[in-house]
Amino acid sequence: DIQMTQSPATLSASVGDRVTITCRASEGISGWLAWYQQKPGKAPKLLIYEASTVEPGVPSRFSGRGSGTEFTLTISSLQPDDSATFYCQQYHSFPYTFGQGTKLEIK
């Protein structure tokens, strides 16, 4: 199985900050990576697929980069509504696997 490792596990930042979350794959997955945002009591919401393609309707402050084994999700200017847990997922090969999550707190 491909292991996905996210960092940091928790993150505290202020409104307006630029925030970056990293996801590393244990082997190359090309660009087959998705990012999700999950708020308490809700299903995850797709933000980005194919590593850098932003899902329609997702605010432009969210962006993704990377290929191979290292990927990043960046929020260019943090907003109060961005408080959530973020997950990466590889879909290069089955079994699909997720990172353990990054909990983002707004100071």
76 vs 100, which CB is nearer to other proteins? 100
Q: Minimum distance between the CB of residue 11 and other proteins, rounded to whole angstroms?
A: 16
Closest CA relative to residue 76, chosen from 36, 16, 29, 31: 16
Distance CA 73, CA 88 (A): 9
Task: List C-alpha distances in Å: 105 to 12, 32, 54, 67, 76.
Answer: 5, 27, 22, 27, 15
Q: Minimum distance between the CB of residue 45 and other proteins, rounded to whole angstroms?
A: 8
78 vs 88, which CB is nearer to other proteins? 88
End-to-end CA distance of the chain: 36
Q: Minimum distance between the CB of residue 34 and other proteins, rounded to whole angstroms?
A: 5
17 vs 54, which CB is nearer to other proteins? 54
Using CB under 8 A, list all residues that contact other proteins: 1, 34, 36, 43-46, 49, 55, 87, 89, 91, 94-101
